[in-house]
Amino acid sequence: MRVATFNILHGRSVVHGEVIEDDLRAAAREIDADIVGLQEVDLLQARSGAVDQTAVVADALGAGSWLFVPALHGTPGAEWAAAEDEPVAGPAYGVGLVSRFPVRAWSIRRFGPAPVGMPLMVPGTRGLTHVADEPRVAVAAQIETPSGPLTVVTAHLSFVPGWNIAQLRALARWARSLPGPRLLIGDFNLPGALPRLSTRWAQPARVRTYPSWRPRVQLDHILIDGLPAGAVTGARAVLTAVSDHCALVVDL
């Protein structure tokens, strides 16, 4: 079984700056994961062709189960409002989870934005740009795999130091209220071993994932809880035609 986490940067190429649906499909096929957590995902956004990007990835993988969960309604960097658990009626932005195996139940955990922003490197701009934080969201799927039940949680956490650690610890506690064994995957905006040290979950995949063209740091992680030692048989970063992150892929 193959599991991946991928911050897709709404399908944008950092080479030519465009969003091309076929590039996202090719990236999904290259990853070829049975379960994939997606971050920075668009739904019905004009900038990405007004498509459901989670559904695009699911179709490319031949996956029968998927869910997009918005962190906000509207467009990041423009007009938006924090999402709640109401039906999505227009453009939105958030996270997605795709599975080739049946999903028995879905759960959602929301976080408010940090009260401060930070100067960041923003693709398509020069130098540092001050960026305000946004609401964050996690989605959990209780999946029936050929090897038995597995809960997978994916999230995109704050870039504000300290705030993201608090979110990850809360997320790990919430995940442990769901049936095990468990995987906690996503872009946590935390480098190296900090996710393991913050949660005490196992961190079997130590692979640099960012920036995609010359990875120097690992911001994308897969943590495990309740799986036996040696459950992860391989881990690698996959460079694709989209995003400023590599996908992190593990084989179980």
Supply 240's token pair.
């694709």
Closest CA to 99 of 227, 236, 231, 3: 3
Closest CA to 210 of 105, 121, 129: 121
Q: pLDDT tens-digit profile of 68-106?
A: 999 999 999 889 999 988 778 899 999 999 999 999 999
Integer Cα distance of 98 and 53 in angstroms: 11
Integer Cα distance of 204 and 15 in angstroms: 31
Taking 50 as the pLDDT cut, the residues of the chain under it are none
Integer Cα distance of 120 and 137 in angstroms: 21
Q: What is the predicted pLDDT for the residue at 77?
A: 82
Around Cβ 108, how many Cβ atoms within 10 Å?
A: 15
* For residue 181, cis peptide bond before it (omega within 30 degrees of 0): yes
Q: Regarding the domain delimited by 2-251, which CATH topology (the fold level of the hierarchy) does it fall under?
A: Deoxyribonuclease I; Chain A (3.60.10)
Q: Is 234 exposed, middle or buried (0-12, 13-18, 19+ CB in 10 A)?
A: exposed
Q: What is the predicted pLDDT for the residue at 65?
A: 98
DSSP per-residue letters across 118-175: EEEE-TTSSSEEEE----EEEEEEEEEETTEEEEEEEEE--SSTTHHHHHHHHHHHHH
The sheet carrying 182-187 orders its strands as 103-111, 136-145, 148-156, 182-187, 220-225
Integer Cα distance of 245 and 92 in angstroms: 21
Integer Cα distance of 42 and 39 in angstroms: 9
Supply 195's token pair.
């996710």
Q: What is the predicted pLDDT for the residue at 125?
A: 63
Q: What is the predicted pLDDT for the residue at 119?
A: 67
Q: What is the predicted pLDDT for the residue at 116?
A: 74
